[in-house]
Amino acid sequence: MPAFWHWFVAAGTIVFTIWCIWLVGWSAKQGPANVADDDLVGHKWDGDLEEWNNPAPKWWLYLYFITIAWAVGYMIAFPSFGNYEGMLGWSQEGQYEAEMQAATETYEPIYEKFAAMDFMALTQNDEAQALGRSLFASYCTTCHGSDARGAPGYPNLTDDDWQWGSAEAEIFQTIYNGRMAAMPVLTPALGGDQGIDNMVRYVRSLSGGDANAGAMSAKPMFVALCSACHGVDGKGNKIFGAPNLTDDIWLYGGSAESVRETLVKGRNGVMPAHGELFGDNRTKILAAYVYSLSQN
Ligand code: HEC
Ligand code: HEC
């Protein structure tokens, strides 16, 4: 915090505290002696129930003094005055780091034990699976759903259909470094609305939709524009994260509208990187858990 703001905050805090003390002290002096017999506020209920302008009871005032004393003690002990660090030397970062350190010391040996195991053995180990399940519940369900079945744009992890590959190293990579998909907008090359419609039909025909003449006329375009990523047969390519278009499993939906939107707007799904958060060992445990989800 620059010096100016340090003094600005510190001065504001001091002035406000002094004002509180003065206000409570002033109220304390307004004892019953200062209340006139007819000192009514003027509110009247049920005909004869009236409100007097009496001072607050003493014990109530003492509560205020106690809170002010507490605040002053707090300000001396903890950082609350601009840049002043407080006598106890406490800081948010310090507490966070201490807690993380303690957690690492407790859990890392457990993670290490599992990380030394073979990947396939991990997918069968109940204890490792329980760990994976709880990591998944904490960090992954917001996007992939509590049942891991995903939602439009967020892949279902319980099927055995993998955009980025299902080998140990591939799942590890997906979780550790994240993935960024790039489905480019290629519609300008498709020859107008009719061309787009034909391509939508062709794509849907790959997974069993009607393949009429219009759809088939888009096939050469598919080979020219799309096969570099999706393959000539449309079965996808995990290197680019280009999905298999022939299996009727859809990331963004298989209706004509959804496929059209994919083509017209492009798609850029992002799986965030978790490596820094988890480290190698936990990533591996989680990868094994995710793999096992697809094997039931
Ligand atoms: C540069 C590589 C690349 C090219 C070229 C490409 N795609 Fe894609 N496509 C992708 C990727 C990557 C995704 C996944 C996007 C995501 O996960 O956000 C994708 C997704 C899709 C989807 C969505 C599938 C689903 O499950 O919802 C469709 C449909 C599609 N592409 C059709 C096409 C068509 C048709 C063409 C040619 C006009 C084409 N793509 C060209 C890389 C490509
Ligand atoms: C912010 C949302 C978000 C979070 C959090 C998230 N994911 Fe993802 N994940 C995605 C998206 C979006 C994709 C698809 C990326 C794409 O379009 O290619 C994805 C893809 C994946 C894939 C690839 C699936 C395949 O078919 O290859 C795996 C595996 C995965 N996530 C696992 C996880 C795990 C494990 C966690 C928890 C550590 C997690 N994800 C947390 C959004 C998220």
Residue located nearest, by CA, to atom 18 of ligand 1: 269
Sequence-distant (6+) residues with CB within 8 A of 263 are: 185, 186, 187, 190, 196, 199, 200, 203
Kindly give the number of the ligand 2 atom that is closest to the alpha carbon of 165. 27
- pLDDT at position 28 is 77
pLDDT digits (tens, 9 = 90+) for 20-75: 999 988 887 776 666 666 677 778 888 888 887 777 788 888 899 999 999 999 99
pLDDT tens-digit profile of 226-270? 999 999 999 999 999 999 999 999 999 999 999 999 999 999 999
Q: What is the pLDDT of residue 129?
A: 95
Ligand 2 atom nearest residue 161's Cα: 26
Return the residue whose CA atom lies nearest to atom 20 of ligand 2. 271
CB neighbours (10 Å) of residue 288?
27
List of residues 6+ apart from 73 with CB closer than 8 A: none
Separation of CA 236 and ligand 1 centre (Å): 9
